Amino acid sequence: MTDAPVRVGTRASKLALSQSAWAARHLGVEFELVHVSTHGDRDQTSPLTQIGGTGVFVSAVREALLSGEVDVVVHSLKDLPTAEPDGIRLAAVPPRESPSDALIARDGLTLETLPAGASVGTGSPRRAAQLRLQRPDLDVQPIRGNIDTRIANVTEGRLDAVVLAAAGLNRLGLTDRVTDEFDPTVFLPAPAQGALAVEVREDDHRFDDALAALDCPVTRAAVTAERQLLNSLEAGCSAPVAAYAVVDGAQLRMQAGTYGSTAHMLEEAAGPMEDPRQLGRRMAETMLGRGARDLLSEGI
């Protein structure tokens, strides 16, 4: 270990700072947060699918790590591209926060009680597709911005509701704003939603003991299966793909969905916890055999 503060690279959003500080505190070392500006943070107007989708919040932070500007980086794991980066290792996956999506609506409304024609904002094609499946009478609108900006769309009357990840709201102490939290086995989340990723340079072993203590094998197994499905489908992190895995004894059970403009596909399977990638690959092969690639190419 080093006597100098550990430099933790992070985006400057309120959520990223909160997540990075939480992970750094659990390493049990003196640390400083180093703000890294990303393309996704600088462009708050274009849809994510237009400005790069996969990795739009990640590349600059990883570049700071590889250059030695920072020692450790913390991400929302669902934002990471599924391809393994050169020179970087995923050193810890802490215990998962809620994987669910959550509704923040005016007047305490829920997804069931929103009136026909109500406007609901989301920046996620996956969420948009599932909202339209469950409530085709809603007016689903694309939005961007940080959590506060998105919530302001409701409090300032521009939208009737927004859908956000429950994990981010919980981490920022905004749970009381939630008017409806969706069952993740019904409204399937994004692969690895609610999980964090702590990365270090491949050859840096100064923090191995602390990182090993922070790592949660159950969470790592579940999100590895989910992300392997995404990788095998050759879909990016902003694609309309959902996956949710849970550990059941020695087994890993996963549900997954892909969504297009005219149809959707759901799949369930189980496999041994010690080989989560095999489960993800097998489910993807099944879904590809049923036409998942054509479905995803339709767009939402």
Positions marked active-site: 79
**Backbone dihedral angles phi then psi of residue 65, each to the nearest 5 degrees:** -65, -50
CA-based nearest residue to 224, from 279, 261, 148: 279
Output the six-digit token pair for 128. 């948009």
Residue 220 and residue 194: Cα distance in Å, rounded? 12
Residues whose CB falls within 8 Å of the CB of residue 130, separated by 6 or more in sequence, listed in order: 187, 188, 242, 257, 259
Are 127 and 101 within 8 A, CB to CB? yes
**Backbone dihedral angles phi then psi of residue 183, each to the nearest 5 degrees:** -65, 120
Give the DSSP H/E element, type plus range, for residue 220.
helix 217-232
- Polymer length in residues for the chain: 300
Are 142 and 46 within 8 A, CB to CB? no
Residues whose CB falls within 8 Å of the CB of residue 37, separated by 6 or more in sequence, listed in order: 11, 12, 60
Are 100 and 183 within 8 A, CB to CB? yes
For residue 103, what are the CA distances in angstroms to 44, 169, 194? Answer: 21, 11, 16
